[in-house]
C-alpha cells in the first residue's frame, strides 16, 4: 500500500493537466470502479442510512476534495519531498483539532510530538524561503492539505460508527468528486479535451494509488493495529523522495532532509 501511494506525487508531476482536473478524474474514476460492488452488496444500507450520518459523510467528502485540490496543487510549486512530508503531518493536525473541537486532553507525549513535528515543518518551510516564493506557496498548500485531510478523518471517525466502510467510501468519494467538479467549474477549467496519456495518468492514480494504496490500508486494519498502519504510512514521503531523485533528478535540500527526518520522528513518537 505504501509503495503504491508513494507513486502519487510522481504521476501528478508527470501530468501537464491543471491540478483540479487531476484531482477530479482521480476521484471520479475511483468512485466509478466501486459503484457496481456497492449497488450489488450495499443497496439496502444506502437506502436506510440516517440523515445525520449521510450529512456527515457528505461533509467529510467535501473536506477530502479540498485536501486533493490543495495537495495536488502543491506538487506543482514545491519539491515532491517537501509536499509529501508536509501533507503527512495530518496526525498532528488531528490531535490539535481533537483538542479544540472535541475537547480531548493532550498528553505530554503528544505535546512533545506536536513540538517536534512543528519544528520539522519550520525547517522545510525555511528551505522553501531559500528556494523562492513558489516553494513557499507550495509548502503552504501542502500544509492546508494536511489540515483538510485531518478534518476528513475526524468527521469520518464519527460517521463510520453507523455505516460500513464500503458505504462510507461510496458516499465520500461521490461527494469529493462533486466538490472537485464544482471547484473546476468555478475556476473555469474545461473538463476536456485531454490527451490519452493524461487519462492514463488519471486512471493510474485511481487504480494504483487510490484503490491499491488507500484501499489496502483500509483492508489491512482488519488484521493489523491502526498504530502500525499509521507508522507504515510514514514510508510514503521517504519513497516519494527516492522516486523523485530517480525520475526527475530532484535532490532534496539539506533543510528538507533534516526537516523531513524531524517531522517523521515527531509523528513516530506520537504513535509509539
Q: 145-171: per-residue pLDDT in tens? A: 999 988 998 888 788 788 888 899 999
Distance CA 259, CA 253 (A): 10
Q: Residues 31-66: pLDDT tens digits?
A: 999 999 999 999 899 989 999 999 999 999 999 999
Percentage above 70 pLDDT, the chain = 93
- Upstream peptide bond of 31 is cis (omega within 30 degrees of 0): no
Highest mean pLDDT among 105-109, 200-204, 243-247: 200-204
pLDDT-derived band at 97 (thresholds 50, 70, 90) equals confident
Residue pair 160/49 in contact by the 8 Å Cβ criterion: no
The angle that helices 254-271 and 90-100 make with each other, rounded to 10 degrees, is: 50
Q: Using CA atoms of 260, 262, 268, 269 in order, give the dihedral in degrees to the nearest 10.
A: -170
| Better-predicted residue by pLDDT, 101 or 194 | 194
Cell of 119: 519544528
Query: Which of 209, 244, 239, 243 has the alpha carbon at shortest distance from 79?
Result: 244
Query: Which of 193, 237, 205 has the alpha carbon at shortest distance from 79?
Result: 237
**Given this model, what pLDDT does residue 183 score?**
97
**Given this model, what pLDDT does residue 191 score?**
94
Q: Residues 218-266: pLDDT tens digits?
A: 777 667 766 666 667 778 888 888 899 899 888 888 888 888 888 888 8
Residue pair 73/134 in contact by the 8 Å Cβ criterion: no
| Range with the poorest average pLDDT among 56-60, 102-106, 167-171, 177-181 | 102-106
All residues at 6 or more sequence positions from 9 whose CB lies less than 8 Å from its CB, including other chains = 75, 80, 83, 84, 240, 243, 244
Distance CA 17, CA 231 (A): 32
Full-model pTM? 0.87
Cell of 160: 463510520
Mean pLDDT score across all residues of the chain: 87
Amino acid at each position: 500500500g505504501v509503495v503504491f501511494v508513494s507513486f502519487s506525487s510522481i504521476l501528478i508531476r508527470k501530468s501537464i493537466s491543471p491540478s483540479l482536473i487531476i484531482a477530479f478524474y482521480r476521484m471520479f474514476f475511483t468512485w466509478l470502479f466501486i459503484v457496481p460492488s456497492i449497488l450489488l452488496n450495499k443497496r439496502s444500507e444506502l437506502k436506510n442510512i440516517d440523515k445525520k450520518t449521510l450529512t456527515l459523510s457528505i461533509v467529510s467528502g467535501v473536506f477530502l476534495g479540498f485536501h486533493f485540490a490543495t495537495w495536488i496543487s502543491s506538487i506543482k510549486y514545491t519539491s515532491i519531498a517537501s509536499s509529501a512530508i508536509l501533507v503527512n503531518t495530518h496526525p498532528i493536525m488531528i490531535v490539535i483539532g481533537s483538542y479544540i473541537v472535541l475537547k480531548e486532553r493532550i498528553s505530554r507525549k503528544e505535546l512533545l510530538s506536536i513540538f517536534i513535528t512543528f519544528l520539522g515543518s519550520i525547517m522545510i518551510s525555511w528551505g522553501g524561503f531559500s528556494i523562492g516564493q513558489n516553494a513557499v506557496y507550495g509548502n503552504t498548500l501542502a500544509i492546508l492539505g494536511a489540515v483538510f485531510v485531518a478534518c476528513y478523518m475526524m468527521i469520518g471517525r464519527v460517521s463510520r460508527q453507523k455505516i460500513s466502510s464500503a458505504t462510507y467510501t461510496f458516499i465520500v468519494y461521490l461527494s469529493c468528486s462533486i466538490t472537485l467538479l464544482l471547484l473546476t467549474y468555478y475556476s473555469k477549467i474545461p473538463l476536456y479535451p485531454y490527451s490519452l496519456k493524461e487519462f492514463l495518468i488519471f486512471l493510474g492514480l485511481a487504480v494504483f494509488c487510490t484503490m491499491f494504496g488507500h484501499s489496502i490500508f483500509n483492508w489491512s486494519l482488519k488484521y493489523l493495529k491502526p498504530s502500525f498502519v499509521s507508522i507504515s504510512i510514514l514510508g510514503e514521503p521517504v519513497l516519494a523522495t527516492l522516486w523523485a531523485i530517480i525520475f526527475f533528478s530532484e535532490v532534496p535540500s539539506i533543510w528538507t532532509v533534516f526537516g523531513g527526518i524531524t517531522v517523521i520522528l515527531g509523528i513516530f513518537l506520537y504513535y509509539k
